Structure 1
Amino acid sequence: MRLIVCSNSAPRWQDGAGLLPRSPGGLVPLLSTLLGRHGGDWVCTMPPDDAAASGDGSVDVTGLPGGVTLHRLRLPRAMTDRHYETVGVRLLLWLFHYLLDTARQPEAGLAEAWPAYEAVNRAYADRLASLMTGSPDEFVLVNDHHLFLVPEMLGRRAEHRGRIAFFQGLPWCEPDYFGVLPAHIRDRILTGLLCADVVGFHCTRWARAFLGCCARFLPGCAVDDGSVTYDGHRTRVTVAPFPLDVAMVERLRGEPATARWRARLEREAGGRRVIARADRIDLWKNLPRGFAAYRSVLEREPGLAGEWWFCAVATPPGRPTERTRELQSECEGLVAGLNERFGAPGRPAVSLVYPDLPTTRNCVVAALSGADLVLVNPTFDGMNLVAKEALYLGERARLLLSVNAGAYEQLAGHVTPVHPFDVEGTASVLREAMASGTAPAERAAARRLLREQDANRWLDRMMGVER
C-alpha cells in the first residue's frame, strides 16, 4: 500500500532515525507510526518559527529512512495566520467545542480571512495532486479542520482521483449550532468533505451529528446510518477512535525523566492520596469546574485536604489566545484560593504543575501512574487521550470521565461518568470516588481493550477493511 497523508501539524524527526513520535497518541504520533510502518509521503506546513520558513510558496522536501518523504509547504505568514488562527481556532475550533460567543461571532472579519483558508487548502491539494497516481493501492488521508476543502479540490482532478479519506479529530457539533456559520462557508465545508470517499470520527455521536448536518443543509443528499450520497458520489462515514500506543506508554514509563518526576510528585504529595488530571490549558478542558467541584468537596469536609492532594498537570496551547490566557489566570486564582483556605505551609491542597517542554509526557505518565483518582471532565472533546493513558497506567485509580469526551463511548464500561457542566454533580461523584476503589478485574479488562487497538487496525477502519 502507498500512503499519502497531510496535516497542518508538522512532525519531528532526527537525521538517521526518521520520524520521532513522542506521545502515546494523537494525530502526529499516529501518522508517524503509520508512515514508519508503510512508508509514503507526508505533506504539512512549515512551522512559522522555523528558520527555513521563507513563505515563498515553495516546498521543502526531506527524505527520511523507511521510505518516508516529508513535504513542508513554505506559505506566507499572513496567509497561515488567517488560515490557522482566524479560521482554524477562532471559528472552527471554537465552533466544534461549542465555544463561540454567538452574540458576537462569527465576526465580520471572517470575510477577509476565508480566502486565506481556501488558499492554504489549495496549496495542499496542489502538492497532493503532484504525488498521487490514482493506483489501486494508494490511500490519501487528509486530517482535521484546517483542511476541510482539500477533498473537493482533489476530487475535481479526475486524472489524479484515488481513494481519499478525511479524519476529523475534533467533535462535530449538532445542526442547530453548525448553522451559525455563514451559509456559503457551512455548505462549502460539507460539500468539500463529501468529495472524500470516507469521513472518519472518534465516536458515533460525532458521526451522527455530521450526518445530521448533511441532511439539514444539503438539499438532495441521501443520508443513512453509515453514508451520505450527494451529487452522485457516496461517502462512507465511519467511527475510528485513535488507539493508545501501548509500547510508547511503556517506554515513557521506564525513562529516567519519568522516575525523576515520580519522585518529585511523591515528595509533594507527602504521603497523601492523589487526585490527578493532565490537560492543555484549553477552554474545553474545563479546568475551572474541576477545581470548583473539589472546592465544594473540601467545604463540606475540610479535613480531606490533609488526606488528599490534587495534582493538576497543565501545558500551554500551541498558540494561546486572549481567552486561554484569561483561563490560565482564572485557574491560578482558583488554586491560590483553595490553598489559602485549605492548604498548610509546604502542603498545598491543590497544585498546578507546569512541566518543562522536553519532559511534559514524562510528567503526565508519572502523575497518572501514581494517582488514586483521575478526573477528566472536558465540556466536549474529540476523543481525549489522557483518559486512555489513565486507564492503562493507573494501578488503583478510578477514572472519572466526562460523558462528552469522545473516548467515553469506548471506555464507558470501565469509568465513572461525569456530567461536565454540573459542578455539584461532579463534586458528589468525586467525593464518592474518594471513598472507594477500583476492582482489579475492571482495570485488567480495560487494559485488554487498549492493547487490542493499534495504528494498523485504525487504518483498516478508515479503509473499510475487516480483520
Structure 2
Amino acid sequence: MAEQRLIVISNRIPTEEEPSGGLVVALHDCLNARGGIWIGSSGGPVEQPRAGLTKIAEGNYTRYTFDLSREEYDTYYLGYSNAVLWPVFHRRADLMQVRPGYAQGYLDVNARVADMVAEFAGPDDTLWVQDYHFLPLAAMLRERGVQSRIGFFLHIPFPEASHVPALPDAQNICSWVASYDVFGLQTEADVERCENLFRHECPSFIESDGTISVAGRRCRPMACPIGIDAEGYRATAEKSKVGKRLFMHKGQKLVLGVDRLDYSKGLVQRFEGFGAYLGRRSNTDEPATLLQVAPPSRQDVDAYKDMRMQLDLTAGSINGDYGEIDWTPIRYVRRSLPRDELAGLYRRADAVMVTPLADGMNLVAKEFVAAQDPEDPGVLILSHFAGAAEQLTDALLVNPYDADEMAAALERALTMPLEERKARHARLWENVRDEDVDWWTGRFLGALCQPRAVEAA
C-alpha cells in the first residue's frame, strides 16, 4: 500500500530550528506532530536559482525549498502577491499597484511549483496549500492530472465581492477556489464573503451545508480559525525574564503592541488612539507607556515606505506633545524580537492593543492571553476587524478608526478591577486553550480527508 503523506506548500518555510511567525510556527507544530513534507521558497531572490527542489532539513518531517529568481521575486512576490492581492484582500484596493508582468509572473511561479509538486505527489497524498501566494495551484495541479485531496487555507481576510473585479485575474478567482476540495477561512464572516463572490460572480450552486458546486467540481468553504500552542506559549512566558529588564517607574503601566510594519495593522490609528488617551488623563495619573514592536516587512513596496514615514511622524509628534524628561510615551522598536522575549513582554504588559483595520486572525491576541498570569492578568483591547474578535468576545472590542473610543478602552483597561480582569481572562484562556493549533489542524484535515462526494455533473 502506498504511503499516505501530508504535503504542505507555502511561500514561507522555516530554515531554522525554532521558527517564528504565526503561520510558520503553527505549521511547524502540526508537521512536527504528524510528520510529512513541507515545500516552500528559499526566501529572497537568488542570482543563480537551482532547478527543482532542494532538501534542507530532515527529522520529524522533511523540508524542501525552491529558489526564486530576481524577476520572479519582483513579479510573483513583491508584485502580484503583495502589491495586488494583499491590498485588495485587506479592503485597500486604492493601494493596489498593477504593473506589466505582475500577473504573468505570479502564474509562472505557480505553474513551476505545480510542475514540481505533480512529479512529487502520489495519489494517496494529502496536499495542504497555504495562503494567497498559491491561489491558482490546485487548478494547475488538476490540469496536470493530480487527483489527490487538495485543501487550501487563507490566512488573510477573504475579499469583498465588490472588490474582486479590481484584480487583473478577477475572472479566474472562482475557478481557482473551486479547484480545492476544502477552502479554509479564518472566520464565518470570511465564509459569507466567499459565498457572496460565487453568488454574484460565477454560475454556481451553494448546497445546504455550504458546499459550492461549480464547473463540475464541489468545494467546501469552511471557517477554521487558526490557533497557537497555548500551553507551550504559557510555559515560555512563565520562564521569560525580559519583563524585569524594562526600566519603568513604580506603578507605571505598560501598553504593548506587536505587529509587522503593515498598513493593515492600523498602527498610525493606534498611536493616535494612545495620544487621545494621554490627552484625557489627569496630571495625577501615573503615566502609561506604549511599547510598539513593529519589525519591517515588504520595504520595497511604496505603500509601506509611506506608512513608515507617517508612523515616525505620528510617534514623534505625540512624544513631543506629552513626553517628560524622565518619560517617553511611545517606545518604538522597529525590529523582530525572539519568541521568549515577546512572551515575557506579553506577561508583563497591563494591556495589549491589537487594533488592525483588517486581519485574517491575528495571533498576537491569542499569544497575549496565553502569556498572562491568571492571578493578575492584563487586558486585551481588540479591533472588531480582527478575525480573533469572533472568538475572543471577552476582550474590550473597539473601532480602530475612532481614536476617542480606543482612548476610552485604554482608560478602562488600565483601571479595570482585578476580579473583572481575572473573569475576562479566564473565559479568553478557555477559548485559546481549547481551540489551539492541534484543534485547528485536526478540524481542517478532518474535513479534507473525508471521502470525496460525487462531483456535480
TM-score by length of 2: 0.90
| Alignment partners' CA distance in 2, 1:63 and 1:312 | 34
Contact 2:294–2:333 (Cα < 8 Å) also in 1:
yes
Distance 2:284 2:43 in 1: 46
Q: Is the 8 A contact 1:311 1:367 kept in 2?
A: no
**1-structure distance, mates of 2:340, 2:148:** 40
Please give the alpha-carbon distance, in whole angstroms, between the structure 1 residues aligned to 2:188 and 2:396: 20
Q: Which residue of the other structure, out of 166, 171, 174, is the alignment partner of 1:180? A: 166
Of 6, 10, 15, 1:7 maps to: 10
Partners of 1:11 and 1:368 lie apart in 2 by: 24
The structure-2 alpha-carbon separation of the partners of 1:246 and 1:406, relative to structure 1 and needing over 3 Å to count, comes to: same
| 2:128 is the alignment partner of 1:134 | no
Equivalent position to 1:449, from 406, 425, 431: 431
Secondary structure of residue in 1 paired with 2:248:
helix
* Number of aligned residues: 441
* Code of the aligned partner of 1:429: A
Partner AA of 1:177 in structure 2? H
Q: Aligned match of 1:189 in 173, 179, 193?
A: 173
1:308-351 Cα deviation digits (max 9, x unpaired): 22222222115452322332232222222222222211311221
Q: Does the C-alpha gap of structure 1 residues 6 and 326 become closer, same or farther in structure 2, counting only changes over 3 Å?
A: same
Which residue of the partner structure matches residue 380 of structure 1? 358
State the secondary structure of the residue aligned to 1:4. Answer: strand
Moved more, 69-78 or 432-441: 432-441
Q: Is the 8 A contact 1:41 1:70 kept in 2?
A: yes
Question: CA separation in 1, counterparts of 2:133 and 2:259?
Answer: 22
| Residue equivalent to 1:28 | 24
User: Deviation at 1:96?
Assistant: 0.9
Paired position in structure 1 for 2:192: 208
Does 2:59 align with 1:65? yes
* 1:403 aligned partner: 384
Q: 2:139 aligns with which of 145, 152, 158?
A: 152
Kept in 1, the 8 Å contact 2:268–2:314? The answer is yes
Of 310, 318, 325, which residue of structure 2 is paired with 1:338? 318
Structure 1 residue 303: Cα displacement: 2.0
Give the CA deviation at 1:21: 3.2
Verify the 8 A CA contact 2:358 2:386 in the aligned structure 1: yes
Give the partner amino acid of 1:33.
Answer: D
Do residues 389 (structure 1) and 385 (structure 2) align? Answer: no
1:54 to 40, 48, 54: 48
Equivalent residue number for residue 17 of structure 1: none
CA distance in 2, matches of 1:216, 1:74: 38
Indicate whether 1:440 and 2:418 are aligned: no
| Greater alpha carbon shift after TM alignment, 93-102 vs 140-149 | 93-102
Taking the aligned partners of 1:401 and 1:436, their CA distance within structure 2 comes to 16
TM-score by length of structure 1 reads 0.88
Correspondence for 1:459: 441
Q: Which residue of 130, 155, 158 corresponds with 1:169?
A: 155
Cα pair distance change 1:295/1:225, threshold 3 Å = farther
Q: Which residue of 2 aligns with 1:425?
A: 405
Alignment partner, residue 454 of structure 2: none
**Larger mean Cα displacement after TM superposition, 369-378 or 449-458:** 449-458
Which of residues 240, 244, 257 is equivalent to 1:263?
244
Instruction: Give the alignment of 1:354-373 within 5 angstroms.
Output: 354-355=334-335, 357=336, 359-373=337-351
- The percentage of aligned residue pairs carrying the same residue is 25
- Distance in 2 (alpha carbons) for counterparts of 1:91 and 1:381: 16
SS at structure 2 position matched to 1:98? coil
Cα 1:420–1:202 change in 2 (3 A) is: same
User: What is the CA-CA distance between 1:419 and the residue it aligns to?
Assistant: 1.0
